[in-house]
Amino acid sequence: QVQLVESGGGMVQPGGSLTLSCGTSGITFTRFDMSWYRQRPGKEREAVAMFVNRSTTTIYGDSVKGRFSLSRDLDKNTVYLQMNAPKSEDTAVYYCGAKFGFGQGDELQHWGQGTQVTVSS
């Protein structure tokens, strides 16, 4: 019954901004590591941003560091990805991820269905 639903994708111009949202249900939101992944055309799925409970920190992939920002709204059980100054290579399907943050390492990674982001003039 875990459900992750992404929204906010679409077309954005290079240098613009876009915010993706991921609404969640079926999880204790504050106990789960929340993440954003993406899959660019012809590429493997890669981590973009991840909030880690054990360290209470957010880590970012090198390709988006300084441009993207993950945030959480604990009242809405929603995680966001703020995308600033997107580049053409940021074009991808973006996926929301959730994983219990206090297990032994064998926890199941849950995924949303993804939302398309296209960076184009």
Taking only the tens place, the pLDDT of each residue in 67-88 is: 999 999 999 999 999 999 999 9
Q: Which residues, 6 or more positions from 91, have their beta carbon under 8 angstroms from its beta carbon?
A: 40, 41, 117, 118, 119, 120
The 10s digit of each residue's pLDDT in 18-35 is 999 999 999 999 999 999
Q: What is the DSSP string of 41-106?
A: TTS--EEEEEEETTTTEEEE-TTTTTTEEEEEETTTTEEEEEEES--GGG-EEEEEEEEETTSSS-
The 10s digit of each residue's pLDDT in 34-58 is 999 999 999 999 999 999 999 999 9
